[in-house]
Structure 1
């Protein structure tokens, strides 16, 4: 974890939201949002005290109420703009670097500390249903969830139209004992949801791998190289989401971190175990795909060799009548067979016998 204490802004400053923008990096494109026009970036906002959700409250007053009642506020956002997240950052005292990552997304999974706040990035994944895998099929769709964790707040920023956190919030509100552990409980729940989605995606990708394996080794002649390569590329997206997550979870499970109570470490260890299992499963699928791809290439090469042997065998058979016809087509005057009554039938018989013998020889050797 990196410590940015020297550059961190002061603690939470309750007050009205004031839009504040952060400069974009040079050359960085303006973040695109799939949020429908007119839809608020704030999905839900609630204050939790002793694990119980308090009555609805205005987001501008939620932090002050959480501090006053010794609880925490959970603010859920969906693809906020620079101005929207800038206003919230000003209100909650979020670090500009973390805010920049949350706005522009496309980050790798990581865990960072900014003064008294934790900032965690998680990649999300969803399996894209398809009737049949093709060389252009989209198999894995990825998104991101960023989580800001402070003493009295947890802010989730979701990018992508999957892994909705609304149902997770409802389930978590039924586990009062877990919510009593503070904002870290929300971080655990989000991490657990993301890793569980990886498990589901990996199992569904396994079905595609099995289908391709059966196709490659089927008696019928198939061309699966394009489909294999596409699935391998899609699996790489899942691997990039799963593999880097191990280090942040390991920190949360094994180290003493301010803002993460000791009882929470056992929860994060469970998530870490699942993440390692998925990482190994994805790695095994990738290795299996590589083996299937090599087998497909080898089978294609063998089929090409078999075709060449058949062509060569038939060319050898056809060469016999061609050679004989070429000799007698030279029109020399003194050719004894031309004056022999049985010369023509004899030549035809020689051609037939030679072709039959060659055919049987090639057939016996597996060339035909």
Structure 2
């Protein structure tokens, strides 16, 4: 039942069916809580696991709930997550190849609090990325954080995400896309989380008077970071496009990779309007071409294209904020 809800949620998310996707993920989270998948020290609906495979399956299913719950809230902020925050000692999914073969590895399980430098499977990397994305959403939505701590926490999230975003491309260099899942989804989630964080701190009009110096530091990091991340998103899109053209096809394209393409496209559209720099026009055209390609598999990419074109034609609803483009358009289509 829970796996069915996850498949339905993924389909609805990938095709831009809102608010159905948000509600389906919520149903999956509620069922997972009732079954006791979120923690070991709570009443369990299911019999005790007798095999490693069974335990790993439950762990992976619950991480699937956490991923969809958090990724569906990016750009749709202001609403609480349906699932609880995972504990630092929660185990990450094991090696994907071993799992597919049903082989139990003689290695210690990797916990969520483990160092990012420890090599992990592609699914585990996606879990690490989405955990940080969830922290970003909670940070932005929590208005009770003391002012002197808010900017310090934002800088810490920035550093942690940047470190993971720098590590993943190196790990992805030697991966074989035909052998199993790749790190593309992990990278895409990481980039979306960074752009979401920068969106909250990059505009001077949102600056708080008499705030600590860390506010200015975070603002500078955000303004510089959004341009750098957009470049990284474009590189990721090119890599995915090349794999599709070389025969991998659209069947393996994850819907989790589409969100960051839209965010980068919306940013390039704003840069082009403000500067009239033809380089931004070329990058915008390339992102839109990638979204057209992705639309053949996931219809949400077509929705993103429409709203990027809407911004380009009419402007961001009179909003002068350069980083509000993604937020305004993202909330708009998700209300449909």
Higher relative contact order (CA 8 A, sep 6+): 2
So what's the TM-score if we normalise by structure 1?
0.32
So what's the TM-score if we normalise by structure 2?
0.35
- The structure with the greater share of residues assigned to strand is 1
Structure with greater Cα Rg:
1
- The structure with the greater share of residues assigned to helix is 2
